[in-house]
Amino acid sequence: MEHVYFDHNATTPLDERVFEAMVPYLRGRYGNASSRHEPGTVARKAVNAAREQVAALVNVQPSQVIFVSGGTEANNLFIGGAASCLKPAQVAVSAIEHPCVARPAQELARHGWKLRKLAAGRDGQVEFADVDEALKAPTGIVSVMLANNETGVIQDVAAVAERARRAKAWMHTDAVQALGKVPVDFAALGVHAMTVSAHKIYGPKGAGALIVDKRLELRPIIHGGGHEQGLRSGTENVPAIAGFGAACELAAARMGGLAPRLEKLRARLEEGLHGLGAAIFGERAPRIPNTSYFAFKGIEGETLVIELDRAGFAVAPGAACSSANPEPSATLIAMSVAPEIARGAVRFSLGAANTQEQVDDFLKALKAAVARLRSMTAVVV
């Protein structure tokens, strides 16, 4: 049975047009983009064309795009690379960051930095009052994500960036989940660095970029032949980079039509969820249009995800539950959600190929799964 895929925040299918753009560089055009001969020049041209496509989607100059292997590496490059140019001070990151921001920030504590988590409110948005409080201490680095991977809640990054700049800190945003879903304009956000990733926008796994303000001082975390303006050594992954460029162009072309369509499907889903008595996290805050994060009291998210998988639907449990770590989602705990509710969290994330019929079928399957799990609990208790 073909699964209906509602887990696009984890990864997206590779778009056919993106695949076609990659094929030549997987077959005949195998040159090393650093080589001076013709095959190398062909590869270099592909990397530069992709750099222009990525730059156009986020409104920057191509030279501001540093290609890396993905979102995780871009976040590590910013935090590790900026920190090594600064005297240890405070690093302030929101309490709802992805682990690939939270962990490198934590790592800085081993090098004399002081980690400060910025609080989020019940709606899932970072609280300005806490940002103001935090920035009273000397701060070198601030990082607040543009859209949260679990709730989909959009943060007012521009407002945080304004405060960070006043405090003379470098400001970064992880825009991995926002890109391709809502307009992302680097200059309008006022940040010094921004992370993007290809495989969340119908591109291939293994490509991403750190977008940088030219004034940002950064040291590489991977040393070698000096590729990517010295900031990321290693032979460029030309097919993946070409695919990333094509995915950015595709995102720009279809976002205007796709976003309202997905928002409508999500509204239909959430009407059904309310009818079934679910709690929906971050519902009243601005959100990316494809994401819904919900829980049913007394039902483990992990159990519900397995039931739905059996019924042919792919959704995700609250982030931390999917790892070896049985703790409830740190994002939900930061939003003051009670742990017993947080343990029920299920993330539903739509993509370009989903239809209304699939959403309706999902709601039917969900209703049946919830009823079955409730009846089982009733017997046990």
Residue 93 DSSP symbol: E
Angle between helices 238-275 and 16-26 (to 10 degrees): 160
C-alpha–C-alpha distance, residues 198 and 208, integer Å: 5
Smallest distance from the beta carbon of 76 to ligand PLP, in angstroms?
A: 9
Choose the binding region for ligand PLP from 33-41, 65-73, 79-87, 332-340 (rule: CB under 6 A).
65-73
Token representation of residue 192: 């010094």
Q: Is 70 in the site for ligand PLP (CB under 6 A)?
A: yes
Greatest alpha-carbon span in the chain: 73
Q: Is 176 in the site for ligand PLP (CB under 6 A)?
A: yes
Q: Is 72 in the site for ligand PLP (CB under 6 A)?
A: yes
**Nearest position to ligand PLP, beta carbon:** 71
Smallest distance from the beta carbon of 74 to ligand PLP, in angstroms?
A: 8
Q: What is the residue type of 74?
A: A
Q: Is 100 in the site for ligand PLP (CB under 6 A)?
A: yes
Q: Is 149 in the site for ligand PLP (CB under 6 A)?
A: yes
Alpha helices in the chain (DSSP H): 16-26, 38-58, 71-83, 99-108, 128-134, 157-166, 186-189, 238-275, 301-310, 330-334, 339-342, 356-380
Write down the residue that tokens 């521009």 correspond to: 158
Q: Is 124 in the site for ligand PLP (CB under 6 A)?
A: no
Angle CA 189–82–154, to nearest 5: 30
Q: By rule CB under 6 A, what string of x and - marks binding of each residue 249-278 to ligand PLP?
A: ------------------------------
Q: How many CA atoms lie within 13 A of 320 on its CB side?
A: 16
Among 71, 190, 301, 317, which residue sits at the site for ligand PLP (rule: CB under 6 A)? 71
Smallest distance from the beta carbon of 261 to ligand PLP, in angstroms?
A: 22
Smallest distance from the beta carbon of 196 to ligand PLP, in angstroms?
A: 9
Among 8, 44, 98, 227, which residue sits at the site for ligand PLP (rule: CB under 6 A)? 98
Q: Is 197 in the site for ligand PLP (CB under 6 A)?
A: yes
> CA separation (Å) from 171 to 93, 116, 136, 165, 230?
10, 14, 16, 7, 21
Could you count the other beta carbons within 10 Å of the beta carbon of residue 129? 9
Among 174, 249, 283, 300, which residue sits at the site for ligand PLP (rule: CB under 6 A)? 174
Smallest distance from the beta carbon of 68 to ligand PLP, in angstroms?
A: 9
Under 8 Å between Cβ of 161 and 190: yes
Active site residues: 321
Q: What totals of helices (H) and strands (E) does the chain contain, helices first?
A: 12, 13
Choose the binding region for ligand PLP from 169-177, 286-294, 301-309, 358-366 (rule: CB under 6 A).
169-177
Smallest distance from the beta carbon of 145 to ligand PLP, in angstroms?
A: 6
Measured from the CB atom, is 7 or 283 closer to ligand PLP? 7
C-alpha–C-alpha distance, residues 301 and 228, integer Å: 42
Smallest distance from the beta carbon of 77 to ligand PLP, in angstroms?
A: 12
Going 250 to 256 to 257 to 258, the CA torsion angle's sign is: positive
Q: Is 208 in the site for ligand PLP (CB under 6 A)?
A: yes
Choose the binding region for ligand PLP from 170-178, 339-347, 350-358, 359-367 (rule: CB under 6 A).
170-178
Q: Is 317 in the site for ligand PLP (CB under 6 A)?
A: no
Token representation of residue 181: 């879903």
Measured from the CB atom, is 53 or 148 closer to ligand PLP? 148
Footprint on this chain of ligand PLP (rule: CB under 6 A): 70-72, 98, 100, 145, 149, 174, 176-177, 197, 199, 208
